[in-house]
Structure 1
Amino acid sequence: MIILFLQITFYTILVSGSSLSDQVHQTPAHMYKKPGEQVNISCSHSIQSYNRILWYKQLKDRRQLDFLGYMMGDSGLPETGSGVNITGSANKDQNCTLTVEGLKLNSSAVYFCAARIQCDTGAEAYFGKGTKLTVLEPDHPITKPTVKVLPPSLQECRNSKDSERKKTLVCVASGFYPDHVSVKWKIGETETTEGVATDNAALRKGKTYSITSRLRVSAEKWFNPDNKFTCIVTFYNQADSYEDFPDEIRGVEAEGEGMTREKYLKGTQRLKLSYGVFIAKSCVYGAFVVFLVWKLQGKHNK
């Protein structure tokens, strides 16, 4: 019955949004292991009166969680056939450890812990941020990503109003294994999340993965050579080491893209200056003509 109850309440628990989730600490965030090895995942909490830690496993491309067991106080109670061991303590400020031995390829998953009080109280459970485990496949070496930022299409939103025009920059990270990556964007030196859309998961092709992220910005920002757009792909490189792989592109001059307000103002200023120079030259030329006429009249009178 406990498994059924936990599966029914899981999605409600995840979206509870309470700040108490910040008091559940799960480490590490990422792990690589070889087949046959074992992993230890730690979980602790600082929530008063909570005395249970539950453990789950979520396979790739599945929303459902598999319940692995739980610790109540100082007693570990793994599910029969789960292949895990649960040790330590589930009390406040203590550490609970999930051990998975004899890893297989299908052990690759995201593992979650959740702290809660006794099930019959109706109290919510609060989840850790998860541990992503990849059991490395034979003959698949760990490979770092290649990152490239592609400029917007020349045809994108050409006929839209100036105030509505957007340009889409595309960041492609490819050729990496395994798929422990995250993507972020910067405009100038400032990180941005506005207009960012990143694939939910990396796409597998052969022995490696690729992932795509898009950044939509206003045409005004893109048509400015002073603006720099940077895509940063962070790759987990074992031993709690993370490595950044950036690529950048700069904005361009607006050629053949219609009249923007900035271009209109600059053009108007140039036109005013040219007109002023023309008037000044005309005045000088007119004065010179008047002088010549006066001289000729003077000679004629003599």
Structure 2
Amino acid sequence: MTVSEPFGIDSTAGEVLAGVDLTGKVAIVTGGYSGLGLPTTLALAAAGAQVVVPARRPGAAREALGDVAGVEVEELDLADLDSVHRFADRFVASGRGIDILIANAGIMAAPETRVGKGWESQFATNHLGHYALVNRLWPAIASGAGARVVVVASGIGESPSIRWDDVHFEQGYDKWGAYGQSKSANVLFAAELDRRARDAGVRAFSINPGYILTPLQRHLSKDEMVGAGWIDEDGVALLPEFRAPEQGAATQTWVATSPALAGEGGGYYQACALVKTFEGPEEVEAAERLWTLSAELTGLDTVGKPA
């Protein structure tokens, strides 16, 4: 289905929520205190949602969000499964349902780092942490009426690829290759999550926010970004594709809330429009294979199953 609304690459998170009433809705936005997460959180809260912001640095999150009404900050480190379990267990024990979960937090082009059981940090943080979070929160996600899970990916989403013989880059680490794989995993995860969750009324989506300068580039030196043609020597963005964080947050906010997407799911979106679905045999096989691998690594596989 092709969805058409008057939003695009220049729209902001606030604009796509104009006139939308989210009173009574509960949203979780991982990393919702910096980068694209901050305008996402602010827009959802302004529309009336109660927004929970799980943060690796809760002190920084509270400072960034101040006293914004309707926002709660919790501690969560996606690279640490014990931390994921603690946060999810606290939330499920609260008895609240989840209407929106935006898997927004992530790292990019990180130096080689091993976490958990020797996992490559970008695959672990960007994908496995969110996979574990959704599975652990499944009772709360499935308890609502029509919950949506939005996974923030990147421009690699049209042709996702996994390095199946060495997903943790133990044989020759490449920071961009590892990042690209983690974003491919985001897209395939959303597609398979949607297939497994739709019978419970839960739909999942992946999105590409576009080119945005945010703290996501923290692992890149100024020289690298100048050399890539992203910025000039004064740090000013050069590429015409670059947008402000409020614009980069529009697609994930729109996908999470738009009535036009009722009954939809599984697709990959950018600039508030559907770009691709993943229904071909090879795509379905890759998504299923990633799910099986993720379940083996995390010990979690609860989506679509009775609580």
The reply to whether TM is greater than 0.5 is no
Greater C-alpha radius of gyration = 1
Report the structure, 1 or 2, having the larger strand content: 1
Tell me which of the two structures has the higher relative contact order, counting C-alpha pairs closer than 8 angstroms and 6 or more residues apart. 2
Report the structure, 1 or 2, having the larger helix content: 2
Shorter-chain TM range is: under 0.3
> With structure 2 as the length reference, what TM-score do the two structures score?
0.23
> With structure 1 as the length reference, what TM-score do the two structures score?
0.23
